[in-house]
Chains A and B, each alone.
Chain A
């Protein structure tokens, strides 16, 4: 790894650790290897959003050309959000692509992701299904996002209705996550979800 990249991550790492967001447990970064190329990030769901109370784990890969190119970041924790793929966790955020600037840091990236959670951009989607639901039925979207936060990110809001519908599909032999994706995609209409799975 280029010297400048490792040295910068080392300095940034200290910055994140000392930042007040870490003190407030809003963001966290951990090293995964000694060469500073792979890191694990964590952000908490912003208050007053469907993601509130959840902890979302991120994979951060630092390229050799860092900081002249952005770090590669994706969600490990499954999340229901118009700008994040519900399948791969890939993120659509300008600063992680063409709007990257060398003066940005791990801390600002994590804070920007947190901001993305509270302000989705459905007109520039990463996940078309989620974005469609967001635009057409915002309440359905909120409920689904809250349910995903509860199941995958440890959020506090248990939705018994969702759990029951998933259980019915699971009882038919469908894998739980597949059932959740199908139901989420069809606005929790169990018949259409079943049709989609078995067609």
Chain B
């Protein structure tokens, strides 16, 4: 059979606790080199391992296949032997008090005679895992070993616990509720006339316990439902908010402003001329200009209301053309008689500061009519229905 070139690479064990460093490891027995020998191709083996290997026909090096001849290509490696004997390791029973330091080769022989060697405990004296009730069957010689197990097997123990828990809840639920209902029914039954109708103390106690359990369950349920309701109302309010935003965004430049409590607001503006009212910002189109309406008393003649339009900042201002140019129509709507609607249309004027790109949230300059309507007339001719004034603005960029 010819050789397939399918040799994979060997890598050494990297277990710090059980295996030696690779330079001290025999590639044949994978243990510490015992009485090491060196081949002419530069590989180390235990003497006994190598001797056994060389009994084969046409022996070659187990590592690189170089032909080896017994007695010719093999030399004792006393350097490595000395190094290994200087590698002192501590007895594995150090935790139990053995302070012996040994060459790794002697550890095994020492362990047999080590006086700190833990005695094999009989099965029934071994420590049980603390989770034995939940199904962990492990047993241990001593406390630290048990502790290590508990630390390492958290996952397994959690699984056992959760399994036990689900069994417990199922049995307690079915058990508690049915017995409570049955006992309750008994309790409300009219007492039979023949017997002395005093339920025994035992019965009462049982009933109370069952009822208490039921109350706890119901309380738990109520709490859960409360949480669900709170979550839902939060959701609804956030939905409402986004609905309003959508409405302002997709009004297509036609916004109706319901100006509530007109009378009170007029009065307060009369007392303090600095008070101004602004509508929410609405968009001329989904990604268009954002405008708002301002209503206040005319600074020149406080008998008039002023209605002006302000340009507001948006997150997409950089994508718009400035200054804003277009047609703006303000209509003061009469609730019943259409012919009384006050409608003013105006074209923007590029030279005005009011139409420049706003640097603040809102352009401080507005554009509109400082004497839009006489307040007296608004009242006397019935513009304020329900103490509410309706202003419609249409904005069309051109």
Contact = CB atoms under 8 A, between A and B. Distances in A.
A121 B1 CA distance: 11
Contact of A116 (B6, B9, B10, B56): B6
A8 B29 contact: yes
B62 A103 contact: yes
Contact of B28 (A18, A102, A111): A102
Interface string A37-50: 00000000000000
A94 B29 CA distance: 22
Contacts of B8: 107-108, 111-112, 115
Interface stretch (A9-17, A133-141, A143-151, A161-169): A9-17
A15 B8 CA distance: 15
Interface stretch (B14-22, B250-258, B344-352): B14-22
A94 B3 contact: yes
A99 B58 CA distance: 11
A104 B10 contact: yes
A108 B60 CA distance: 18
Contact of A115 (B3, B6, B27, B63): B6
A108 B10 contact: yes
B18 A14 contact: yes
Interface centre among A101, A107, A116 (most CB of B within 10 A): A101
A7 interface: yes
Nearest to A94: B3
Contacts of A83: 4
Interface residues of A, number: 34
A8 B62 CA distance: 15
Contacts of B6: 93-95, 112, 115-116, 119
Nearest to A121: B4
A86 interface: no
Contacts of A93: 4, 6
A112 B4 CA distance: 10
Contacts of A112: 6-8
Given A14-B15, A15-B13, A94 B2 contact: yes
Contacts of A30: none
Contacts of B1: 92, 94, 97-98, 124
Interface string B20-37: 000000011111000000
Nearest to B54: A68
A54 interface: no
Contacts of A99: 3, 7
Contacts of A15: 11, 13
Contacts of B4: 83, 93-95, 116, 119, 121, 124
Interface in B21-68: 27-31, 49, 52-53, 55-56, 60-63, 65
A40 B381 CA distance: 99
Interface in B309-325: none
B29 A101 contact: no
